Amino acid sequence: MFNNTKKKHLEKRYLNIIKKPLPKHIGIILDGNGRWAKKRGLPRIMGHAAGIKRIEAIIPEVKRLGVEVLTLFVFSTENWDRPDEEVNFLMNEAEKIYTRMLSRVKELGYNVRIIGEVPKEKHELATKIKELNELGNNEESFTLCIAFNYGSRPELIQATKNIGKMIKDGLLDVEDINEQLIDDNLYTKGLPPVDLMIRTSGEMRISNFLLWQISYAELYFPKIYWPDFDCSALYEAIENYQKRNRRFGKIGEEDA
């Protein structure tokens, strides 16, 4: 728990942050749960349990800041190769979380979108994902996007197949292919591109996460494990972003 002095300091940082341009879309690779647990002599699943609690704490803070979209990379298509105990724990926890979201969807105060391949072998979980995504968007200004059983390469392959089928069916010509068309065939259709991509634990890899969507994102790699990524760490990431000179391929003022 934060003491009163630290709370006041955090609130001051919060007020300073919201006066400056904020990233519209933050993407986070939640890395380091297992190493966080190992460092404490705990089983890996305890690290994931701590990571889930951290997710629940960070979401409302990102929303409070005024960020439009938060995408969390919680389970990749490659994570199925992890130990059965770990995978089963994560699947069970995902089903519990999605069930709670469905029961409280009107109370959440934000949109929920789950992107990735629906795990067909997990029937109950697949049903929960389908139900959440079918709720559609409401008038809330904040969207929580959960990348679950997600991989950017499979996403791009599917988008290519969709476009190829439209060409085959005579619905468009090859010359009609542009960035907007590709955007419209990704899982993230309708969402803004990622402005700030964070990967915790200090690992400096993208790991097949939103490869198209992070084309011009600012990358940030804090050397802390996800369960330790508190409000202070979030503010530090955004403050770092606000100091960057985003050029989008153009020449910066200092280079002119």
Q: Which of 4, 31, 169, 208 is catalytic?
A: 31
Q: Which of 3, 16, 33, 79 is catalytic?
A: 79
Catalytic-residue membership of 184: no
Per-residue pLDDT of the chain (256 residues; tens, 9 = 90+): 457 888 899 999 999 999 999 999 999 999 999 999 999 999 999 999 999 999 999 999 999 999 999 999 999 999 999 999 999 999 999 999 999 999 887 788 899 999 999 887 888 999 999 999 988 666 678 999 999 999 999 999 999 999 999 999 999 999 999 999 999 999 999 999 999 999 999 999 999 999 999 999 999 999 999 999 999 999 999 999 999 987 766 655 565 5
Catalytic-residue membership of 79: yes
Q: DSSP characters for 155-186? A: HHHHHHHHHHHHHHTTSS-GGG--HHHHHHTS
Question: Domain map of the chain by residue range?
Answer: 23-151+193-242
Residues 6+ apart with CB under 8 A from 68: 24, 25, 141, 142, 143, 192
Tell me, yes or no, if the pTM score tops 0.85: yes
CATH no., domain 23-151+193-242: 3.40.1180.10
